[in-house]
């Protein structure tokens, strides 16, 4: 997989300078192109927020489970032999992750630990299925996660990526269907990767791929290479060539990275601003280009 350079925006660049950089790399706009409705953009924001929460919960729950290997009998053995997937489902305002695997006939999902993540407090609660103080060490059937496991397995079989470690998430879509995401992960603290990601829409039973959506082609690292020492960027930007709108992972990327800063996304016909809270708005390029250069 190729890693392509993207434009950088440092604190001394103006918004007008940013727009020029993005417009130079975007295809010519269609004269009658209209931006998506705010309602449509808000749905992208919501999916991006849920994706961010899922990713954070999966990471924290995995860390918590790994720390228990020396405490819980047979947990280390289960992690080695029976750990195929982690799958998250809403449990009130929290997310319960089931660590386990599909049965050999794929008619059951077998779990050995189900930690619960609280997005507000960031705490992880480790409980067994009967509310024991520690998770059970034996495999138990929990078929609430069976459609998710099938959806993930079938999506993996369709996935054709390489060159990076990938994280995944399975989120609810309309009509009981599932969105399955794959996106590159980083093991280096402070390095955030955007791009080379995929989203599959899968049937409610997890057996049929209904839609395949490549969200970005190449990977864009943040911080960008070549940032002058001592310089602190106040915004970032990239061009999108796949379609005329931001992607769910664009929102997740903004929410995930630190320090917090907005992201400008330039497409063939539009310019978008993703704020640090994940909200998306359409930017009037012509109006901003006429503003005086105030600097930053």
Read off the pLDDT of residues 98-116 as tens digits, 9 standing for 90 and up. Answer: 999 999 999 999 999 899 9
Confidence (pLDDT) at 29: 52
| Furthest-apart CA atoms within the chain: distance in Å | 67
pLDDT of 17 reads 45
Per-residue confidence (pLDDT) for residue 135, from 0 to 100: 59
Within a 10 A sphere around the Cβ of 265, how many other Cβ atoms?
Answer: 22
**pLDDT given for residue 295 in this prediction:** 34
Residue 82 has pLDDT above 80, yes or no: yes
Exposure of 228 by Cβ count < 10 A (0-12 exposed, 13-18 middle, 19+ buried)?
exposed
Question: Across residues 167-176, what is the average pLDDT?
Answer: 96
Mean pLDDT, range 172-182, rounded to an integer: 97
286/26: higher pLDDT: 286
At 210, list the tokens.
């209904």
Task: Kindly report which listed range (58-67, 79-88, 159-168, 275-284) carries the lowest average pLDDT score.
Answer: 159-168
- Tens digit of pLDDT for each residue in 209-226? 999 999 998 888 887 777
Cα–Cα dist 180/193, whole Å: 18
Task: Indicate the pLDDT class of residue 143, thresholds 50, 70 and 90.
Answer: very high
Who has greater pLDDT, 276 or 25?
Answer: 276
Residue 47 has pLDDT above 50, yes or no: yes
Say what the pTM is.
Answer: 0.83
pLDDT above 70 covers a percentage of the chain that reads: 79
Work out the average pLDDT over 1-23.
37
Alpha-carbon distance of 261 to 295, in angstroms, equals 17
Q: What is the mean pLDDT of the chain?
A: 82
pLDDT score of 288? 55
Residue 258: pLDDT over 70: yes
Please say if the pLDDT value at position 296 is more than 50. no
The residue to which tokens 């990938």 are assigned: 166
Q: Does 10 have pLDDT greater than 50?
A: no
Who has greater pLDDT, 29 or 141? 141
Beta pairing partners, 237: 264
Q: How far apart are CA 265 and CA 35, in angstroms?
A: 13
């Amino acid at each position: 997989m190729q890693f392509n350079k993207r434009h950088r925006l440092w604190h001394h660049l103006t918004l007008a300078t940013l727009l020029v950089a993005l417009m130079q790399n975007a295809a010519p706009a269609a004269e009658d192109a209209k931006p998506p409705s705010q309602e449509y953009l808000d749905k992208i924001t919501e999916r991006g927020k849920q994706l961010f929460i899922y990713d954070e919960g999966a990471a924290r729950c995995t860390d918590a489970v790994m720390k228990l290997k020396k405490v819980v009998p047979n947990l280390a053995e289960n992690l080695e032999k029976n750990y195929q997937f982690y799958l998250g489902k809403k449990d009130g305002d929290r997310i319960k992750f089931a660590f386990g695997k599909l049965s050999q006939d794929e008619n059951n999902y077998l779990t050995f630990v189900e930690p619960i993540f609280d997005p507000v407090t960031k705490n992880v609660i480790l409980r067994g299925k009967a509310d024991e103080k520690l998770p059970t060490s034996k495999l138990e059937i929990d078929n609430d996660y069976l459609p998710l496991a099938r959806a993930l397995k079938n999506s993996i079989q369709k996935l054709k990526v390489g060159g990076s470690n990938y994280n995944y998430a399975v989120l609810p879509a309309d009509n009981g269907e599932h969105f399955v995401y794959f996106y590159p992960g980083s093991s280096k603290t402070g390095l955030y990767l955007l791009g080379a990601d995929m989203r599959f829409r899968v049937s409610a039973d997890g057996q049929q791929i209904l839609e395949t959506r490549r969200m970005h082609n190449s990977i864009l690292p943040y911080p960008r290479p070549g940032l002058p020492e001592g310089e602190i960027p106040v915004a970032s930007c990239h061009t999108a060539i796949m379609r005329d709108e931001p992607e769910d992972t664009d929102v997740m990327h903004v929410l995930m990275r630190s320090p917090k800063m907005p992201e400008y996304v330039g497409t063939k016909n539009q310019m978008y601003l993703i704020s640090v809270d994940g909200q998306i708005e359409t930017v009037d390029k012509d109006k901003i280009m006429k503003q005086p250069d105030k600097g930053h």
